[in-house]
């Protein structure tokens, strides 16, 4: 419960959108309408694998007009700890999952005069929702969507159909790149930029924004991290008096939950800060993978974000 209200759902449709992306339609098991949410929101999907419970965040693409279903898009990742593989291989129409209430850590800035939406690959999912909301509100916007090739443009046709010439597509196989130095200058004052995609792309776009003299507060990115795996290590929860192991394919937070401790979380992507936990001692090196703690805080070793960070070493003792 420490992640908030949970909603039991059933998979009612699956669409193979590209060779590596599936879109899942989820409906509440009790038939009730799913909650409204603002564009850019995600839910955390809990999957019961054979030996453990995996929880991954996925952006909401849309909610059906009658409120009966949400859609999420899942990329089959190479270095999956099991979440995306589970969704692609184990989940079928009729499968039961649990989701959290929507949480928005990538909101539109409603004071913006114009909005530049930039997506790479599966990063298109929140961008898709944002474009819909901006179109509904008749606010100025542009969409720039980069994909590997035409077969991998999971949302290209739908975006063009819905947003027409506001969409610009870029194909890696045609050596088309998002020319940030051409797009960013000459935008109206008060324009906000939102980018979601691979880490390298996000960094390049944001660097381009800064180089063009944009204020930091007009540049927005969602860097959801799939929690990376690593070597296994011993974990002791000092207050609970529990000793357990974090497996190679498990996140620290998942190991805490598997030990029966109800620890706080929200995004499970290293962004929100909710799972910040005090480190009592670490026999080894803390591997900080989050975007929440400052460099100084990371260097001090006093805190760790359990959703994406872990230990490279023997034993970690947490104040839980």
Partner 1 sequence: MTIQFKNETFRDDFTFSNSPEAIRRFPFPFDKDQYMYAVNIEQHMPGPAKSATEFPIDIDEHYVSEMRDRALVLKADPLRCQSLPHMITAEWDLVELLMESMAKHYPEHFTLTRDGDRWHWINRPLEIDQTFTFGDAATLPCPPMEYVTRQCQGDFCLLDQRNDNLWMDAGIVTTQADWSLDFDMGMNFMEWHGPVPLAHDMGVFDRALKFLLNLQQGRPVRRLNWTMTVNPRLDTSPENYHKWGIDRTTVTPENVGNKVHLRVELQALWRLPRSNAIVFSIRCYLIKMEELVTIPKWGRRLHRVLRDLPPELVDYKGLTRFRDTTVDYLARHDDGAPTSPGFFPD
- What's the maximum distance between 2 C-alpha atoms anywhere in the chain? 60
**Cβ proximity of 55 and 122 under 8 Å:** no
- List residues bridging with 69 in a β-sheet: 27
Q: Residue 24 is encoded by which pair of tokens?
A: 């899942």
Closer to partner 1 by CB, 35 or 232: give it: 35
Residues 109-128 that bind partner 1 (CB under 8 A): 109-111
Task: List Cβ neighbours of 3 (8 Å cut-off, separation of 6 or more).
Answer: 44, 55, 100, 264, 265, 266, 268
Does position 305 interact with partner 1 (CB under 8 A)? The reply is no
Query: For partner 1, which residue of 103, 196, 246, 318 counts as binding (CB under 8 A)?
Result: 103
Does position 217 interact with partner 1 (CB under 8 A)? The reply is yes
Does position 98 interact with partner 1 (CB under 8 A)? The reply is no
Query: For partner 1, which residue of 10, 14, 37, 132 counts as binding (CB under 8 A)?
Result: 37
Shortest gap between Cβ of 210 and partner 1 (angstroms)?
16
**Cα angle: 139, vertex 142, 147; to 5 degrees:** 145
Shortest gap between Cβ of 263 and partner 1 (angstroms)?
14
- List residues bridging with 39 in a β-sheet: none
Binders of partner 1: how many residues, by CB under 8 A? 21
Q: Residue 268 is encoded by which pair of tokens?
A: 């499970």
Does position 64 interact with partner 1 (CB under 8 A)? The reply is no
Does position 274 interact with partner 1 (CB under 8 A)? The reply is yes
Does position 67 interact with partner 1 (CB under 8 A)? The reply is no
Residues 125-144 that bind partner 1 (CB under 8 A): none
Does position 102 interact with partner 1 (CB under 8 A)? The reply is yes
* Cα(262)–Cα(253) distance, integer angstroms: 10
Closer to partner 1 by CB, 1 or 161: give it: 1
**Cβ proximity of 167 and 160 under 8 Å:** yes
Quickly tell me which residue has 């004071």 as its tokens: 111
Task: Single out the segment in contact with partner 1 by CB under 8 A; choices: 88-96, 97-105, 124-132, 237-245.
Answer: 97-105
Closer to partner 1 by CB, 167 or 308: give it: 308
* Cα(167)–Cα(200) distance, integer angstroms: 22
Closer to partner 1 by CB, 112 or 227: give it: 112
Query: For partner 1, which residue of 26, 54, 272, 316 counts as binding (CB under 8 A)?
Result: 272
Residue among 8, 77, 91, 86 nearest 43 (CA): 8
Does position 107 interact with partner 1 (CB under 8 A)? The reply is yes
Shortest gap between Cβ of 33 and partner 1 (angstroms)?
11
Closer to partner 1 by CB, 87 or 103: give it: 103
- Where are any strands of DSSP class E within 206-275? 219-222, 233-237, 242-246
- List residues bridging with 278 in a β-sheet: 303
Task: List Cβ neighbours of 72 (8 Å cut-off, separation of 6 or more).
Answer: 23, 24, 26, 43, 45, 58, 59, 60, 61, 125
Shortest gap between Cβ of 222 and partner 1 (angstroms)?
14
Closer to partner 1 by CB, 37 or 234: give it: 37
Q: Residue 271 is encoded by which pair of tokens?
A: 């962004």
Closer to partner 1 by CB, 69 or 274: give it: 274
The site for partner 1 (CB under 8 A) is made up of: 4-5, 35-38, 40-41, 101-104, 107, 109-111, 217, 266, 272-274
């Amino acid at each position: 419960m420490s992640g908030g209200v949970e909603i039991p759902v059933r998979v009612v449709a699956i669409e193979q959108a590209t060779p590596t992306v599936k879109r899942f339609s989820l409906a509440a098991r009790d038939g009730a309408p799913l909650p409204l949410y603002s564009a850019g929101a995600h839910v955390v999907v809990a999957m019961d694998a054979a030996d453990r419970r995996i929880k991954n965040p996925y952006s909401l693409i849309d909610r059906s007009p009658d409120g009966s279903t949400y859609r999420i898009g899942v990329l089959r990742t190479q270095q999956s700890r099991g979440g995306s593989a589970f969704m692609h291989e184990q989940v079928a129409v009729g499968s039961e999952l649990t989701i959290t209430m929507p949480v928005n850590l990538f909101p539109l800035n409603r004071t913006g005069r114009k909005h530049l939406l930039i997506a790479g690959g599966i990063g298109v999912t929140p961008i898709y929702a944002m474009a819909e909301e901006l179109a509904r509100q008749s606010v100025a916007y542009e969409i720039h969507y980069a994909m590997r090739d035409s077969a991998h443009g999971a949302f290209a046709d739908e975006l063009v159909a819905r947003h027409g010439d506001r969409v610009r597509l870029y194909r890696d196989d045609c050596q088309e790149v998002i020319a940030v130095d051409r797009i960013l200058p000459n935008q109206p004052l008060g324009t906000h930029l939102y980018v979601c995609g691979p880490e390298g792309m996000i960094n390049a776009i944001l660097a381009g924004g800064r180089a063009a003299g944009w204020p930091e507060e007009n540049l927005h990115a969602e860097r959801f991290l799939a929690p990376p795996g690593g070597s296994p290590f011993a974990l002791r929860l000092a207050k609970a008096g529990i000793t357990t192991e974090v497996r190679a394919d498990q996140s620290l937070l998942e190991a805490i939950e598997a030990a029966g401790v109800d620890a706080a979380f929200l995004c499970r992507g290293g962004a929100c800060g909710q799972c910040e936990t005090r480190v009592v001692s670490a026999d080894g090196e803390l591997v900080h993978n989050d975007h929440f703690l400052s460099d100084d805080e990371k260097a001090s070793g006093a805190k760790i974000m359990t959703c994406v960070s872990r230990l490279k070493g023997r034993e970690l003792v947490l104040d839980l």
